[in-house]
Amino acid sequence: MAPATIMAGARRLVSSRRRTEAPRRRPSPSTLPKKLRPMSEIMARAKYAVVERADYSDIICEQCGSGERPGELLLCDKCDKGFHMRCLRPIVVRIPIGSWLCPKCSGHRRVRTFSQKRIIDFFKIQKSGDGKKKCNLSQDTRKRRRRPLVLLKKRRRLLPFIPSEDPNQRLKQMGTLASALTAMQMEFSDDLTYSSDMAPRSANQAKFENGGMQVLSREDMETLELCRSMSRRGECPPFIVVFDSCEGYLYHEIICTAAVMLLNCLFSIFILIMWCSYTVEADAQIKDMTFIAEYTGDVDYIKNRENDDCDSMMTLLLATNPSESLVICPDKCGNIARFINGINNHTPEGKKKQNCKCVRYSVNGECRVLLVATRDIAKGERLYYDYNGYEHEYPTHHFV
């Protein structure tokens, strides 16, 4: 065979093998050995990284400066600082799932905008569209103030509360109330509510009161309506709700019964103490006879609540027929009146601390309970009313 013929046959053989063999693959980037970056480079580029410490026993709360109650301390995943759940604003009710950032690390502007929207939705604040009505009410108030001081002192008329001028301060005040109501799993309500399984609205009539009930005067009705309209616009009374584990509604009375409850259920004591850990402070100076709030909640018959352990029921109607007497139960819905402390006014210390009183009135034929300041209240002072005196001393009449 000629050399040319042999070379041609060899080329065909090589060509055939190359066509039938699997092509050689180039190594993909995923199969190449990875080059690990140093930790210093990762820490420099990362926004934040969680680095576990060997010992967390020295962590303290950045708000109160205490390291007590370590089970309630939250650690920021960015700055690694500690915060008590109850010291944060708004209060953190449950331990967050996943990573958590403190207010400073999460960004104040974003949190403030979100909180403002939540507050507006929570209290169903209405836009001010009744400027003319507001002006007329203000003129009526000014006319009333021009009257002689002796006449005002004699009649003891109600005064409207003066909201804080700073809108951000009002948002802060409403935010503390929203946090407390949320922690108690309550809804906000500035009115008495009537449920189908409780007392109907027709049962709340002042004419059923044993001996009659004082009727709210026209001028005091205007003051009440003025305060309600201000609240609907977000111009709330200048009060803040604060958390205090050592004080609350009837705290001292609960301590007396805690030993008995300990034998039954420790968890019940914990829930009860949590219910009694809020109190109300004045965020501005409050004048004597200033309207503070209306006591609101579900209306029910007293006979249905004889074995109820709710710590804040308020008498609404003492009827001639005891089976028709009514109480206000703020366990599902209510307002700031729910967190004002009751105090034993039979002791000298109790009488000294008392600065407001619950007064029952007939308003348009219905029984209502109003909280009114009984003396000037300084900024930062906590509010206390008598829980065991007004039914015996002032069953149907307004105090003077």
Give, for all 400 residues of the chain, the pLDDT tens digit.
Answer: 555 555 555 455 444 444 455 556 665 655 556 667 776 776 666 666 566 666 777 888 998 888 888 888 888 888 888 998 888 877 777 788 777 888 888 764 443 444 677 788 888 887 655 444 444 444 444 444 454 444 444 557 899 999 999 998 999 999 999 988 988 889 999 999 999 999 999 999 999 998 878 899 999 999 999 999 999 999 999 999 998 766 544 443 433 344 334 434 333 333 333 344 789 999 999 999 999 999 999 999 999 988 876 667 899 999 999 999 999 999 899 999 999 988 876 778 778 889 999 899 999 999 999 999 999 999 999 999 876 544 444 333 333 2
* Per-residue pLDDT tens digits for 165-204: 999 899 999 999 998 898 888 999 999 999 999 999 999 9
Rounded Cα distance, 3 and 285, in Å: 118
Phi-psi region of 198 (alpha: psi -120 to 50; beta: other; left: phi over 0): beta
Domain 167-242+278-385 class?
Answer: mainly beta
Enter the tokens of residue 183: 């922690």
Backbone angles phi, psi at 78, to 5 degrees: -110, -55
Residue indicated by tokens 């703020």: 330
* Of residues 174, 205, 179, the one with CA closest to residue 190: 174
Three-state DSSP class for residue 89: coil
Show me where the domains of the chain are located.
Answer: 61-109, 167-242+278-385
Residue indicated by tokens 């507001």: 134
Contact 195, 302 (CB under 8 A): no
Exposed, middle or buried: residue 220 (CB in 10 Å: 0-12, 13-18, 19+)?
Answer: buried
Would you list the DSSP string of 103-129? HHHH-HHHHHHHHHHHHHHHHTPPP--
CATH topology for the 61-109 domain: Herpes Virus-1 (3.30.40)
CA dihedral 108, 109, 111, 112 (to 10 degrees): 110
